[in-house]
Structure 1
């Protein structure tokens, strides 16, 4: 071996020995964080009554009478009602202390309908009773309180808005009842919408989260709470979701101080603006929240907001889509005056609304001989006709207003836009449509010019827009 070869071999050997050590140096050590933050993470156990007769009723709905098991089902139902009219259901979750006097944050679904709540502190022999201070079902948050009298360790909130995708995060909780389990991973994504509620804006992480982690903290490397672990994808691994601290902190403060949520309310129904809708509305790009209905007497109505308006900003904050508008409006206090950026019939304008209080109760809130089907309706692939008097009453439409969508041709532009038979057409391109002649005028005029027809439909008790692309004129 030459001297040069020997030196090269020595360098390679040194690199082989040094690189793993260097790699280990660059990896974070979570031990101190786990020890310090873990002291403020608690186990919540709850007891609630379950009406087993309701569960039996649901079971029988899926097993109709008349089959070979009818006798068995009759005997089962009698025996079930006699011996098990109700039962006590126990469940577990996680929470974390946010003040030395014993206020604890968890998920609403952990404590909802609980008749008894016990909190197990780390290192203590016996659990302590707790009471619910306030709940927010829409964001799935709750605050409970224990009367301990001691100086408890607690966690502080960080700012999830400044946390970057790819940053290290740590979850602490009680998965499957295994107390104070620490898992680590990265922030996988932000702003996830998973259909959990009206304010979906979840952080996604690959830090292991499992049943029992609900309500536990998601921490940054400084030990600050950047999220509250809430949901998982049952069929996947490494996909967990947390409510961001930027949304949760103010809600928790409200629950702690007022025992209820103070959320702004406009009183409108909205949907996203897609490319076809933007084209029909004369917008340069699809953005904002399209107003599909305005509740009479509510803040938006008083401010002059109209069906077909697009809300592009709220209080100076840009609104990218319907979900963003919900979050921004809700973040404002009831009674506050808020400027709304509005796009109306090709022009930008501003209106001022005095927000109300968001309340769950408000949220509960064939061809005729005289007028044959128009060619315009055929063009987009649907059959339209005036509503009969009894039909108009049934759907809550004034007599003489709107047209019934009697049929939708499969594969047609209307079908592609998800127009359905039974819908009531109220407007086309923001023009009232009360006859087939009205519809033809819009289609052959403004809609033909833009290449798209924006239809305002009434479906059940809801209004919604559908943008129908017109085929090229032959």
Structure 2
């Protein structure tokens, strides 16, 4: 009986091991590899020539550079780059990364059987680093790949990358899905799949496939200083924008016109909230959809059309998936009460406004941990406000400083009460007891946000 038990355990161990580690990735490769293509791009680049060579040859040849650089010291040359992509249908549509083809004057697609085609750009979306190309197949036989479901892919799943790293076409590497929802700080819609699959320059734009040979991600980024850290755009993000790229050549996204800020425990407490789930509105841009709908700074958004939005990134993703002119219902908490506000979305601007330089800070007025004075009219106009106070002195040993408050910041709200001048600030400030929470709304040249901290004096 004991021998029978041991034999059963050995069989079970072998069976588990067989399911855990594939005996071969060959079936996956045979299914997916014919759909993967190499992408070669060419563009004209202009660079400045070293003044030494410009002066030297200019002097020798009477001001004309022998190599055609001219008197300007600028040289134009053709630059080539390599990447990967994959075919998604028999009409010749190909997906890759935007950074692979950005600025390209010529794009050549090469198949695994050495066939080559010129490609045109159908659409690009820099915010997700995705691009859609098309080739004229002229009736040639091509094999599209299947798009999987990145939402159902699980951490620990086996995955395979196929691409053109360093120009070595048809390279296959394997590993596991290491994490999901990674934020690298590249954009507002960061939601990367992390993998330990070996990814190198040239893999960009190629597919990350599951064991069924379906695309679950588009290989996009690596961290050069680390090993086993590759990142891919989830394929579901591609599927969401694909119709828009085909139709319009770009992605028109919904826009509320608010400055979002994540909630921490102190901010949540200062607004009377029991947890940090939700997104604080730090500012509402005048004339934008949010302003027209009645949103206010200090509101906390907790849901969109009944779908929870617990973080700024979640909210940006939900709104960004909507189209301009679409109506959404925002569930907000204002003054401790939940209410719904309907917003007709605008169109997200293509570029964010850049921050201006900080303004000069005036001399100190009153002693204390936080010293303020009235903002002057010129500073107010630069910030787009009518009133407020500017911090002229701040004790660096206070929690206010540790939480990010600084000299030169302009305060317009204190504990959700308007601060029009120095008297307003100190009237509210002096009533707050030492150790009690206080929250200020700070306006900066590049936006505004709330800062919550315990009063230290």
How many Å apart are 1:359 and its aligned residue?
2.6
CA contact (8 A) 1:429 1:453 kept: yes
How many Å apart are 1:435 and its aligned residue?
2.8
Instruction: State the distance in 2 between where 1:425 and 1:210 align.
Output: 48
Aligned equivalent of 2:132, options 136, 143, 156: 143
Instruction: State the distance in 2 between where 1:317 and 1:14 align.
Output: 49
Task: State the partner residue of 2:437.
Answer: 452
Aligned equivalent of 1:408, options 376, 383, 394: 394
- Report the CA distance shift for 1:195/1:330 in structure 2 as closer, same or farther (over 3 A): same
- Report the CA distance shift for 1:22/1:356 in structure 2 as closer, same or farther (over 3 A): closer
User: Alignment partner of 1:360: what SS?
Assistant: coil
Instruction: State the distance in 1 between where 2:294 and 2:7 align.
Output: 77
Task: State the partner residue of 1:386.
Answer: 374
Alpha-carbon deviations, 1:255-309, whole Å to 9, x = none?
0232221311111111111111101111111122211221222211111111111
Instruction: State the distance in 1 between where 2:215 and 2:370 align.
Output: 53
Matched, 1:428 2:423: no
How many Å apart are 1:22 and its aligned residue?
7.2
Instruction: State the distance in 2 between where 1:272 and 1:368 align.
Output: 33
Task: State the partner residue of 2:182.
Answer: 192
Matched, 1:215 2:201: no
Instruction: State the distance in 2 between where 1:287 and 1:73 align.
Output: 61
Instruction: State the distance in 1 between where 2:330 and 2:244 align.
Output: 25
Superposition map of 1:55-134 within 5 A: 75=55, 82=71, 84-124=74-114, 126-134=115-123
Gapped regions of structure 2 (runs ≥ 5)? 59-64, 356-360
Task: State the partner residue of 2:27.
Answer: 32
- Report the CA distance shift for 1:280/1:252 in structure 2 as closer, same or farther (over 3 A): same
Number of residue-to-residue matches in the alignment:
439
Instruction: State the distance in 1 between where 2:19 and 2:400 align.
Output: 61
Aligned equivalent of 1:245, options 218, 221, 235: 235
Alpha-carbon deviations, 1:170-199, whole Å to 9, x = none?
111111111111111111111111011110
How many Å apart are 1:470 and its aligned residue?
2.2
Instruction: State the distance in 2 between where 1:180 and 1:245 align.
Output: 21
Aligned equivalent of 1:311, options 301, 304, 323: 301
TM-score (norm 1): 0.85
Instruction: State the distance in 2 between where 1:48 and 1:351 align.
Output: 49
Matched, 1:288 2:278: yes
Matched, 1:464 2:449: yes
How many Å apart are 1:17 and its aligned residue?
11
How many Å apart are 1:77 and its aligned residue?
11
Instruction: State the distance in 2 between where 1:76 and 1:323 align.
Output: 55
How many Å apart are 1:145 and its aligned residue?
0.5
How many Å apart are 1:347 and its aligned residue?
1.5
User: Alignment partner of 2:99: what SS?
Assistant: helix
CA contact (8 A) 1:99 1:153 kept: yes
How many Å apart are 1:99 and its aligned residue?
0.5
Alpha-carbon deviations, 1:370-427, whole Å to 9, x = none?
xx426xxx3xx332111233333444432xx111111332232221011122111111
User: Alignment partner of 1:39: what SS?
Assistant: helix
CA contact (8 A) 1:170 1:218 kept: yes
User: Alignment partner of 2:218: what SS?
Assistant: strand
- Report the CA distance shift for 1:11/1:315 in structure 2 as closer, same or farther (over 3 A): closer
CA contact (8 A) 1:274 1:287 kept: no
Instruction: State the distance in 2 between where 1:464 and 1:179 align.
Output: 49
CA contact (8 A) 2:353 2:446 kept: no
Instruction: State the distance in 2 between where 1:26 and 1:188 align.
Output: 15
Instruction: State the distance in 2 between where 1:358 and 1:19 align.
Output: 55
CA contact (8 A) 1:368 1:385 kept: no
How many Å apart are 1:72 and its aligned residue?
5.3
Higher share of residues assigned helix: 1
User: Alignment partner of 2:268: what SS?
Assistant: helix
Aligned Cα RMSD in Å?
2.9
Gapped regions of structure 1 (runs ≥ 5)? 1-6, 61-70
User: Alignment partner of 1:89: what SS?
Assistant: strand
CA contact (8 A) 2:400 2:455 kept: no
TM-score (norm 2): 0.88
How many Å apart are 1:84 and its aligned residue?
4.9
Instruction: State the distance in 2 between where 1:122 and 1:107 align.
Output: 19
How many Å apart are 1:438 and its aligned residue?
1.9
Matched, 1:345 2:335: yes
